[in-house]
Structure 1
Amino acid sequence: MSDPLLQVHDLITAFDTDGGLVRAVDHVSFEVPRGKTVGIVGESGCGKSVTAMSIIRLLPQPMGKILHGEVNFKGRNLLKATDAEMRKVRGGEIGVIFQEPMTALNPVHRIGKQLSECFILHKKMSKKDAWHASIEMLKLVRIPAPEHRISDYPHQLSGGMRQRIVIAMALACRPDLVIADEPTTALDVTVQAQILDLMKQLQAEMGMSVVLITHDLGVIAETCDEVVVMYGGRVVEKAPVRELFERPLHAYTRGLLASIPTLATPRKSILPTIPGMVAGLLDLVPGCRFCQRMGREGAVLRERPAFEEVSPGHWAETCPNCFEEPK
C-alpha cells in the first residue's frame, strides 16, 4: 500500500480564553489514504471543524494555538511550514469547501472575480486566461449558462448554486486533498443529493482525497470509505464505514446510529436520543467524557481510556462503561 496522503498524529489545539487555555482538539490522530474519502462525524462542539482548520492552519488568531502534534501532507509536516508556504498549499494543493457558502463568498464581488483569483494566485494565469478557466470550472460543477452566471453576484444565486461555486473554487487548481466542512448544510434534501453526487463524480474524475465533516451519518454511509467519530475533542472510534455501521463499539457511536430512522422504524414514532449535552471546553474532564455526559462518577472521569485497535482497522476508546466487546 502507498503512504497515506495525510497523516494527523497526536494533534492538540487550544484556545486562549478568559478562563485560561482550553483544549478543543485533544490528541487526535487519523489518516487519509490517497483517493479515498474519510468522514469526521460528531455533534456540534466535538472538535471537527477545529481539527480541519488546524490542518490548514486557519485558526482564529491570536487565540488559536496548535500545542503539539504533526500534520504530514505528502511527506512534509505542515505545522512547520512558513506562512508563505501555507498560502501556496491552501487552494493549490488542499482545497477547502467552507460550511456556509454565503459567508465564504464576498457579497460585493462578482463570481468571476472571486473564482479567477484562484488561477491568478496559484497558476500565475493572466486575467483573461483565468476568466476562461473560471467558466470551464462552472461547467464542471454543472452551473447552467456559465458565461452569464460568471458575472453574477452571490446574492443572485440560489443556495445550491452558491455551494457549487464554493466547490468550483476549492477544485479550481485540482488539489490532491479537499476538506469539505458540512458542504450540504442549509440545503434541501434534493439539492443535498445533487451536491453529494457532484462531489463523488469530481473525486472520481480528479483522483483526489476528501475529508468530509458532517453531522449526518446518512451522508457518511453514502459517500465515505472510513469514519472518524469525535466526541469532546477526541476520537472515540474510527473504522471502515461498513465495519462501523455493522459493529459500532463505543456507546456514543451506537447512540448516534440509533437516532437515525430506518425503513423498519414505525411511522410517527419517537426516535431515541442521547441524553444530556456535550460539556463546555472549560468543564471537560481528563477521563472518559461520554461518562461525564451520562452522569457517572469515580475513576472513569479522572483517567483517560486507552484508544486501542480492537480488530484490523477498527479503533475505539476502551472505557469499561462505554466500550462493548465485539461479538
Structure 2
Amino acid sequence: MSDAVLEVDGLITAFDTDRGLIRAVDQVGFSVGKGRTLGIVGESGCGKSVTAMSIVRLLPQPAGRILGGRVMFQGRDLTQVSAKDLRKVRGGEIGVIFQEPMTALNPVHRIGRQLMEGILLHRKISRRKAWEEAVEMLRLVRIPAPEMRMGDYPHQLSGGMRQRVVIAMALACRPDLVIADEPTTALDVTVQAQILDLIKRLQQEMGMALILITHDLGVIAESCDDVVVMYAGRVVERAPVQELFANPLHAYTRGLLASIPRLETEPKTVLPTIPGMVAALSDFVPGCRFCQRMGRRGPTLRERPPFLEVSPGHWVEACPECYQAEEVKA
C-alpha cells in the first residue's frame, strides 16, 4: 500500500519462559493507510494484543522480545529506533487506547493531571495551555462539565466515562495512528455503540489511521475497511471487509462467521461453535495450527502452509485441509 501509515512485515515476537523461547506472534504482516481502519479479529490467545504491543514496543520486560520483522511507521522501522526516539513516537505520533480503562488510568492521580502529562511531554506549551487543551479533549469526547471532571479521580467516573478519558489521552496529541485494543471491553451494549461512534467520528475529523482489535465481528463489519483474521499467532486470512464477509476462504474464518447469531435462526437452537480451543503457546505445531485444533494428523501439521493472494487484496493461509473447506469439521 503506497499511502500506508504503518506497514508490518514478518513480525516475530517471543517470550522467555521456563520451557525456552516461545513465539506468540509468528511472521505477521499487514498495512493500514491514512484515514483507514484495519480490524484485527480472533479468539483470546491468538496474538492480537501482543501484535499491537509489539508495534509500540510495550511488551512485558524482560521476557518479551521482537525476534524479527519490520514495523515501518512514517518511513522508520520502530523495531530499530532508540528508546528515546520511541518515547517521542508513543503518545505523540501513535496513540494507544488500552483494553481496560481502570488499569490504564492511575488511580492516585486526577484525570486532569494524567491528560496534561502526555500533552506537556510531546508539545512545548505552557501548563495553562495544556490545561485548556485537556479540557477541550474531554469536551471533544463528550464528557459533560469537563472542567469539573479534570479534578476527579478515575474511581469517581463510570466505566464509559473512564473509557472516554482513555480515548482523550490517546488522541490528545493528534496522532497519525491510533491502536484501539478492545476499546469496548466490559461496557454495556449502549455504551459500546457510543464509544465506537465516537472513535469513528474523531477519526474522520482528524484523518488518522486506526487499528481496531476486537472479538466482535459485528463491530468489524460496521467499522472497518480491511480485516486481518489471526489464529494461534498467525494471520490466516486478510482481505477488504466486504470481500471477507462475502467470500471467507479459511475454515477458521468461516467458523467465526457461522457462530454469529442471526435473526432467521430458530429460537432456542444451539449456536454453531468451533470445536476445541486454541493450543497453548508451547504446544503450537510448525504446520497448520487450525488442523492441530481439529485433531487432524499428517503432513499439514509439519509444514507451514503458504500465504497466497487468491484475489486482489485477499490473502489466505492455503492449507489443503482448511483453505476453501466447505465447513469446519470436528
CA distance in 1, matches of 2:83, 2:145: 38
Q: Which residue of 2 aligns with 1:24?
A: 24
Comparing 268-277 with 188-197, greater Cα deviation is found at: 268-277
Residue deviations 1:155-186 (CA, integer Å, cap 9, x gap): 00000000000000000000000000000000
Residue deviations 1:183-206 (CA, integer Å, cap 9, x gap): 000000000000000001000000
Q: Which residue of 2 aligns with 1:178?
A: 178
| 1:265 is aligned to 2:295 | no
Q: Which residue of 1 aligns with 2:240?
A: 240
Q: Which residue of 2 aligns with 1:53?
A: 53
| 1:287 is aligned to 2:274 | no
CA distance in 2, matches of 1:181, 1:256: 19
Q: Which residue of 1 aligns with 2:148?
A: 148
Name the aligned partner's letter for residue 263 of structure 1. L
Alignment of 1:54-203 (within 5 A): 54-203=54-203
Q: Which residue of 2 aligns with 1:10?
A: 10
Identity of aligned residues (%): 75
| 1:227 is aligned to 2:232 | no
Tell me by how many angstroms 1:118 deviates.
1.2
Tell me by how many angstroms 1:262 deviates.
1.4
Residue deviations 1:102-149 (CA, integer Å, cap 9, x gap): 000000000000000011100122222111111000000000010111
Preserved contact between residue 250 and residue 325 of structure 2 (Cα < 8 Å): no
Q: Number of matched residues?
A: 326
Tell me by how many angstroms 1:49 deviates.
0.4
Tell me by how many angstroms 1:325 deviates.
7.6
Residue deviations 1:53-78 (CA, integer Å, cap 9, x gap): 00000111111010000000011111
Tell me by how many angstroms 1:2 deviates.
3.9
Name the aligned partner's letter for residue 279 of structure 2. A
Name the aligned partner's letter for residue 55 of structure 2. I
- TM-score, with normalisation over the residues of structure 1? 0.98
CA distance in 2, matches of 1:28, 1:283: 19
SS at match of 2:276: coil
CA distance in 2, matches of 1:33, 1:128: 35
Name the aligned partner's letter for residue 57 of structure 1. R
Q: Which residue of 2 aligns with 1:311?
A: 311
CA distance in 2, matches of 1:206, 1:291: 43
Name the aligned partner's letter for residue 94 of structure 1. I
Residue deviations 1:195-229 (CA, integer Å, cap 9, x gap): 00000100000000000001110110010000000
SS at match of 2:282: helix
SS at match of 1:80: coil
- TM-score, with normalisation over the residues of structure 2? 0.97
Which ranges of structure 2 fall in alignment gaps of 5 or more residues?
A: none
Name the aligned partner's letter for residue 163 of structure 2. Q
Name the aligned partner's letter for residue 297 of structure 2. E
Name the aligned partner's letter for residue 208 of structure 1. M
Q: Which portions of structure 1, spanning 4 or more consecutive aligned residues, are displaced by more than 4 angstroms?
A: none
Comparing 127-136 with 240-249, greater Cα deviation is found at: 127-136
SS at match of 1:10: strand
CA distance in 1, matches of 2:3, 2:277: 38
Residue deviations 1:83-104 (CA, integer Å, cap 9, x gap): 0000000000000000000000
Which ranges of structure 1 fall in alignment gaps of 5 or more residues?
A: none
SS at match of 1:79: coil
Name the aligned partner's letter for residue 124 of structure 1. K
